[in-house]
Structure 1
Amino acid sequence: MNKKLYIHVGPPKTGTSVIQFWLSTHASWLRSQGVYYPQHELDSNSVSSGHRALFLERLSQTTRTQFNHAKFQQLLTEFNETGCNNLLLSSEFFFYQIPEFLKYREQYNIQFIAYVRADFELIESLYNQSVKRNGQVLPLPHRSQLPKSYLDELIDSISIYSECTFNLRAYGDSTVFRTDIITDLLTCLDLEPPTGYTPQSEKINSSYSFECLEFKRWVNKFDLGDLDRRIDQCLQGFKSNSQAYSLLPANTYQCYKEQSLEKIMALQALAPIENYENLINYVKAKNRASYIHQELYPDHLTKVGKYLLEADKALLSELVTHIGSKELSDLDVQYLELLRQLLGTDTLPEQKRLWLSKLMRKMRE
């Protein structure tokens, strides 16, 4: 059993987009090193679902996927014909397909690569992602106990399957990695970066700024359809001073932080986490960013509206028309008229426009 299958499973919000972008753009170099990394698509923001589409099929009327073994066998045949000894696959959707991959462990040496991120960070990042891509309209709940997470799933999986099949890596800032995440991943393959390599400086699929988060959470109410993807891609380019913020009050944040440490320690007891001590020190030293109460403030709506007006006026116009066709609350009407004013298409009579102006000033105070 000389051939190896390296399955990078994420999980979400652990640098997967950066990893997939680099691997995809260096597939030829990887192949020269004996690693076959099949090509996959990247969108206009360099974001990808990795290799999901190669052999996972979405079940109808659901977000769940199903492992297509016939397609996977075709991929293995393709891999065997390359002459490479290592197949590297990457997708966050593989996280829940571990049992399916393990059906091939008699033929291949299979190793799952998973990054371990503290839940108290992950919960805010995943919430941001749910607003970006999954139509979330509710604010982030503040609970006394952390909800079940990917760390719990990892603990369950490692408890069931041999720990030898899992390569766990600590995820955090530069104090956690001895180098950077690409160099760290290549270490799993016994590789060093190519000559001239420089770490990726620009973030890919980063979280929304607070303005964009609340804007997108508002428009998610209106069943955006095809507009959803276009709005998300456009908002990815929005730059703001409010990139670093927290939606968790101080007591909730501290509670989550302590529970996160307990989960990481429980995982370490089952299987070693590379850079474990660095991760523990990072979590203990981490301070909460400035707290912002979730609400779409008029100034923020104006900033995002002006950005959309400049970046894609046609998209903003389509969005305004789409929202105007829906059932609206009084606050929705106020927000919509503000966007119409930016477009120069406001339809309010003068008396109501003055009333709206006073209301907006009051909300700013």
Structure 2
Amino acid sequence: MKKTLYIHVGHYKTGTTALQVFLSQNAKKLRRHGLDYTEVFRHHGKHSKFAFSLYRAAKVQTLMHGYKDPTPPEKLWSELFEAVLASPAKTVLISSEEFMRLGAHPAAGARLGDIVSGVRGKIDIRIIAYLRSPAAHLRSWYNQMVKMSAATTDYNTAVCQVMEPVHYDYALALRPWIEIFGAEAVLLRPYQEDFRRDGGLFRDFLSLFGLDYDNPPGRHGWVVPEKDVNPRLDDRLLELTRALHLADVPDDLAHWITHRAGVVLQQQDKDLIAGAQGFDTVAERVRQGLSQLETLPGCAVDLASFQQDLPRPEAPWRADLGLVLATLLREQNLLRDRLQERSTELRTRIAALEARLDRDT
């Protein structure tokens, strides 16, 4: 029986972490039904070691996240191929978004090409990639970089000078996979923004293997992550988070400040809804009032132009900015108060010690 190895290569910010958690939690059930999400070098639900070994061999230094394993990629991949051939399932799957960086490092791609040449004819290898609309992807990746304290530049600079081109040049990202395995082996799926709801991503992914998310095999259903496993940082907190990192604010304090700002913004969201509805009422009152003035014989005011300039609510970002600044100032005031209290306490203790010394002398 010829085996098939599927390599899920990402892309980043297409629900890969949630998908990997889902596959790990359901690995036994999937294996019983022909899909082996292999445990070989699976760490934290993903198989990034296979990608990092290639980058290390290619002398890549950036974004290695502390990877220092000296094991040659040939040995790691050989163990994977042995596991594929020995698996009771016909289909084996590995997953890591780190594979998507292969297009940025040609030497790593060439190394993988040499490695897989030895199993051609023994194992069919197919590639799965999800792509998100470019603008949404770049915004989401920048959000992730700031959340991980990996970006201290503004968005424009990050896109043009910091991000690897595979984040906006999808052809580059997929080129090595197409060149190594052939265009017919690459499955491209569109990442939909609503995939986060109602198991949308899991449903789409399982369908590639003939499995039905809505009608799971066996008596028990799928195990689904209880919460978002990689929550997005509120975009309104990006600049605050970046500023705190630039200012070398300790991580625990920075986390507290952004948390407090997030709580305030959530409350404001509720107020903004009510405020927007209230503005509709205000604008209607203005319109009706101006209409009543049209009959005044001595009116020289251009009421028609007034009707075109009815009151409208401000853009939400203005209120957001004010609340974020208020949070920072509040923390500054609290810190100042604590310093003043401590200073007063120390002055009191020093005065007591001096008085005691005066008595002893």
TM (normalized to structure 2)? 0.58
State the secondary structure of the residue aligned to 1:56.
helix
Q: What is the match of residue 163 of structure 1?
A: 183
Q: Which amino acid aligns with 2:36?
A: Y
Greater helix fraction, Structure 1 or Structure 2: 2
Which residue does the alignment assign to 2:338? 345
What is the identity percentage for the equivalent residue pairs of Structure 1 and Structure 2?
A: 22
Corresponding residue for residue 48 of structure 2: 52
Given residue 8 of structure 1, which amino acid in structure 2 is its aligned partner?
H
What per-residue deviation string (whole Å, max 9, x for no partner) do you get for residues 249-286 of structure 1?
Answer: xxxxxxxxxxxxxxxxxxxxxxxxxxxxxxxxxxxxxx
Which among 172, 192, 201 is matched to residue 153 of structure 1? 172
- RMSD over aligned CA atoms reads 4.5
Mapping of residues 1-365 of structure 1, within 5 Å: 2-39=2-39, 40-42=42-44, 50-53=46-49, 56-57=52-53, 59=56, 62-64=62-64, 68-97=73-102, 99=109, 100-102=111-113, 103-104=115-116, 106=120, 107-141=122-156, 148=165, 149-154=168-173, 156-157=175-176, 160=179, 162-174=182-194, 180-193=200-213, 194-195=216-217, 196-197=221-222, 202-222=227-247, 227=251, 231=255, 241=266, 292=317, 297=321, 299-300=323-324, 337-338=332-333, 340=335, 345-347=338-340
Partners of 1:178 and 1:78 lie apart in 2 by: 33
Q: Name structure 2 gaps, 5 residues minimum.
A: 104-108, 270-314, 344-361
Residues 60-89 of structure 1: per-residue CA shift (max 9 Å, x gap): 853247971202212332343332222111
Whichever residue aligns with residue 89 of structure 2, its letter is C
Match of 1:308 in 2: none
Give the Cα–Cα distance (whole angstroms) in 1 for the partners of residues 38 and 239 of structure 2. Answer: 37
**Conservation of the 8 A alpha-carbon contact between 1:17 and 1:205:** yes
Count matched residues: 263
| TM-superposed deviation, 1:111 | 0.8
- Are the counterparts in 2 of residues 36 and 82 from structure 1 also a CA contact under 8 Å? yes
Shift of 1:38: 3.0
Q: 2-side partners of 1:224 and 1:41: how far apart?
A: 31
Q: What SS does structure 1 have at the residue aligned with 2:192?
A: coil
CA contact (8 A) 1:211 1:242 kept: no
- Give the TM-score of the pair, scaled to structure 1: 0.57
Instruction: State the alpha-carbon separation in 1 of the partners of residues 174 and 268 from structure 2.
Output: 32
Q: Which moved more, 1:60-69 or 1:91-100?
A: 60-69
Separation of aligned partners in 1, 2:248 and 2:200: 39
**Alpha-carbon distance in 2 for matches of 1:61, 1:296:** 38
Paired residue secondary structure (2:156): coil
Relative to structure 1, the CA distance from residue 6 to residue 301 in structure 2 (aligned partners, 3 Å threshold; closer, same or farther) is farther
Question: Does the aligned pair in 1 maintain the 2:6–2:91 contact within 8 Å?
Answer: yes
Q: What residue ranges of structure 1 are gaps of 5+ in the alignment? A: 43-47, 245-289, 306-333, 351-365
Q: CA deviation at 1:178?
A: 11
